[in-house]
A and B are shown apart, each in its own frame.
Chain A
Amino acid sequence: MIEAESLVKTYENVPAVDGVSFTVKEGEVFAFLGPNGAGKSTTVQMLTTLVRPTAGGARVNNFDVVKQEKDVRLSIGVALQETGIDKDLTGRELLVLQGRLFKMTKQEAEARAEELLRVVSLTDAADRRSGTYSGGMRRRLDLALTLVHRPTVLFLDEPTTGLDPASRIEIWNEVRRLNEQFGTTIFLTTQYLEEADELADRIAIINHGKIVSEGTAEELKRLVGGETIAMTFHTEQEASDAAMAFGKTASGLHVSFELDALTLTDVVRRLDERMLQPERLTVKQPSLDDVFLKVTGESYEGGMPNVD
């Protein structure tokens, strides 16, 4: 559905995107994960015909993003990082106009507007100027505008940046619903590891205009090793006995190591055999933060912001 081949965009000799290639399959949710300025938005702008690539190319829905701009635009829905809403028009007026611009008749556009207003729960505010809407309402209207023409591929550029946690979860649910119910292919960018982990089938980590790693969340996490088990015992003797059972050494009351081929059941059985009972036992999954640190050598500063 989306094929990018060595995409490059240079601004005044500085590469914003520096040779990015990837493929997104039909029905997939694909996330571009990276910090601010990594080149996420520029990639979206190239894929959605807003900006011409300096080099390389891409096809969306089998249309060339440079040579078949109009076909690309007809088949995709795009919600840019900043909502694109005229505050002087009402939600309904914006939706109807959007439908008309996507070749619907007046009646079709009005019916579709009504339907979408219901979907994003804006029916009550439909005839108020959008300038009076709250941030969350604007984001929902923006998403509705993106969906007017029932696009098969959806581009969401940082769909939840700046939203409060409740609105963020609303958007997540909407994204999942679109993907599951309509099979919409979704390309999303995000600075939030949790968001990529939560929504995406596959993730590409982008940093300084380049993809540094790509795969499912599981695959990426495996890059930094498997799960880690950590146990705490009542006495140092117990701890060192337990450590020996796995060929490790204890540090004080604590024993921790990577599980590798072992399963949690193996661990518990082996402790049982030796009549050892840990006071506490935790299994830690590697996080995407760990992955980011591992593949870029930089610690990740995106993180979920604290929203009041």
Chain B
Amino acid sequence: MWTETWLFTKRSMLTTIRNPFSFIPNLIISVFFLLVYTSGLSSVASLPQFEGSAYLNFILPVSIVSGAVGGAGGTGQALVRDIESGYFARLLLTPATRTAIVLGPMIAGMLQLLVQTLLIFAVAFLLGLSIPVGLPGFLFTVLLAIGFGLGFAGYSVGVALKTRNAQAAQAGTLLFFPLIFLSTTFVPKELIEAEWLKVAATFNPTTYIFEGMRAVLTQPTIDWGALSAGLAVAGALSVVMIVFAATNARGALKQK
């Protein structure tokens, strides 16, 4: 199965690279977010709840996660294209397992997010980012980003297989955008005023990704509790979404 998964991953990466417009706009938007948030909101970081960390460190996860959500949508759309071209049916007719067929594009999507995350980091460093805990802070943030990305790519693939419709696949990922903002997106939890938003933030898995990244980006020492919670959420999300995608692979033939 691993050979097959690798073959499918390679193929999806080739397809992505040959369609640069499938990932460039999203990358630009993520960087744009980062620039706008830091320029427009950075003075809030002087509030005591930020405990002296720079706003750039605080907002960087938002740029990375929203980039991941946008990028993962592309993975589902690539799959819809396969269903429409009939290539997906051809793949279903090979001895490859369903899981490998859906895992390939998901991993390719994840790798795309890895590259994207590295580029966002590069821009952040140009903007003067410094991570108090150093290299581990960078590595754990990237790990959280690709874990969340894999889960989200799985969600997008699952929706694509279920609906077999490019618009629906796109809409399915757009639904997740509010989730980014129903969270400790712009300010720490203590600064959220509306009670309902606090509740939403508590149940929102995205919060734990943000908190996990901030645990290694904003503090002088790593907050292992928040980091492990973030990693656990990312891992669980990935597993659930791989299962969701694989169970929908059966019978995902083009509808006439």
Contact = CB atoms under 8 A, between A and B. Distances in A.
A82 B253 CA distance: 11
Interface in B200-250: none
A50 B92 contact: yes
B254 A82 contact: yes
A180 B28 CA distance: 58
Interface string B76-102: 000000100111111111111000000
A51 B86 contact: no
Q: How large is the interface on B (under 10, 10 to 19, 20 to 34, 35 or more residues)?
A: 20 to 34
A85 interface: yes
Contact of B18 (A48, A88, A98, A101): A88
Interface in A104-161: 129, 145
A227 interface: no
Given A80-B89, A82-B254, A84-B87, A89 B94 contact: no
A84 B90 contact: yes
Contacts of A236: none
B42 interface: no
The binding surface of chain B is classed by DSSP as helix
B178 interface: no
Contacts of B93: 48-50, 73, 76, 78, 84
Contacts of A78: 90, 93
B85 A51 contact: no
Interface in B152-190: none
Nearest to B17: A88
Among B90, B91, B253, chain A packs the most CB atoms within 10 A around the CB of: B90
Given A50-B92, A73-B95, A89 B253 contact: no
Given A89-B14, A89-B15, A100-B7, A145 B95 contact: no
B254 A101 contact: no
Contact of B95 (A48, A52, A70): A70
Contacts of A86: 11, 15, 82, 85, 87
A1 interface: no
B43 interface: no
Nearest to A100: B7
A98 B87 CA distance: 11
A98 B86 contact: no
A45 B252 CA distance: 12
A234 interface: no
Given A50-B89, A50-B251, A84-B85, A97 B95 contact: no
A84 B15 contact: no
A88 B14 contact: yes
A117 B146 CA distance: 39
Contacts of B19: 88
Nearest to A51: B251
Interface in A32-59: 45, 48-52
Nearest to B90: A84
Contact of A97 (B7, B18, B253, B254): B7
16 contacts: A50-B251, A74-B95, A80-B89, A84-B90, A85-B86, A86-B82, A89-B11, A89-B14, A93-B11, A98-B90, A98-B94, A100-B3, A100-B7, A101-B7, A102-B94, A129-B18
Given A88-B19, A102-B94, A129-B18, 13 more contacts: A45-B253, A50-B251, A73-B94, A84-B88, A84-B89, A84-B91, A84-B93, A86-B82, A86-B87, A88-B18, A100-B7, A101-B95, A103-B95
